[in-house]
Amino acid sequence: MFKKGIPGKKKTKSKKAGNLKSNIIKSAAGLLILTVLVIGAGFIANYYISKKEFPAPAKNKASIKITAQKKKGAVIPPVFEVYPKEEKYHIKIQPQEKKSPERELPKVAIIIDDIGYHPFIEKKYIELDAVFTFSVLPFSPFKKNIIEAAHKKGTEIMLHLPMEPIEYPEITPGPGALLTSMTPDQLLSQLDEDIDNVPFVKGVNNHMGSKMSASDIQMNQILSVLKKRGLYFIDSKTGPISYGKESARLFKVSFAERNVFIDHKQDRDFIRKQIHALIKIANQHGEAVAIIHPYPVTYQVISEMLPYMKKNMNLVPASEIVKDLS
């Protein structure tokens, strides 16, 4: 007689093989999920670790409406500037050749605009062995400490006067802005408030203002107040038309205008080229006015190039550049 097989034995083996295969698939899937989670966590950690210690500046885009109010405990800094379209790009300029040490260096005033919102970088400029002029936005949250530290060092203080740009209201100049819709009384009252808000002020330059500066009547109103206050005016030249010079001549206000924006393109090589352009212009005219902003990359390039700059220009306060117009 043949021995009968044990019932269900083959089925048991088949079932065990199936369970083993299922367990292997589950383990592989679990390992894959774990690997994805580890990699994802690594990317997230790397993102936060690699952030620079400098806060990112506000983007200069018309789609962003800027206010200088506090939002959830954080101060929103204003847009640094709305640059003239023709100055978004600059022709490549070669470095100037070294001249004899006996020559008289051209005077250059470097104005740092938008002071009062980025104290970390602003304090680093105070620590540099160089002459800068600080142009402070009225009602800015950190202006008091920065002005005190700058004044103690002997740094000249200006009012960075917010004025209406062509892009308003998509882009706003911030607190204390002078608007073309204001009546003469409103404009003069706001201007007085802005001046009084910045201690030790010696002069004024406009923050934005491409629309306001194109109004001869309102520029006359502004310059009449500066005359009474004994303040000079430097036209930032943020638009194609400006009556700043004509108004300054009319009211006999000491005047100068910006020659070069150094950092309207955030690129180290571009900023270097703009500094070489500044030196070229200063050599041609004997003096020049440059405007920079509290961008981290600007500070890095300025601090690196400072020895070269001091060999090629005489850094002076803005008050040494302005002149009475005949």
Residue 115 Cα distances to 1, 79, 192, angstroms = 106, 12, 19
CATH number of 103-320: 3.20.20.370
* 213 close to 243: Cβ distance less than 8 angstroms: yes
Contact 249, 242 (CB under 8 A): no
Q: Which tokens belong to 113?
A: 């605009």
Tokens representing 140 are 């800015």
Higher pLDDT, 48 or 265: 265
The CA distance from 52 to 58, in Å, is 15
Compute φ and ψ for 201, nearest 5 degrees.
Answer: -70, 135
Query: In the predicted model, is pLDDT for residue 39 greater than 70?
Result: no
Q: What is the pLDDT of residues 151-195, one digit of tens each?
A: 999 999 999 999 999 999 999 999 999 999 999 999 999 999 999
Q: What is the pTM of this model?
A: 0.74
Strand ranges (DSSP E) for the chain?
Answer: 70-71, 74-75, 107-115, 133-136, 156-163, 201-208, 232-235, 255-257, 260-261, 287-292, 314-315
Neighbouring residues of 259: CB distance < 8 A, sequence distance ≥ 6? 278, 281, 282, 285, 288, 289, 290
DSSP percent split of the chain into helix, strand, coil, nearest 5 = 45, 15, 40
Mean local confidence (pLDDT), 11-39 = 56
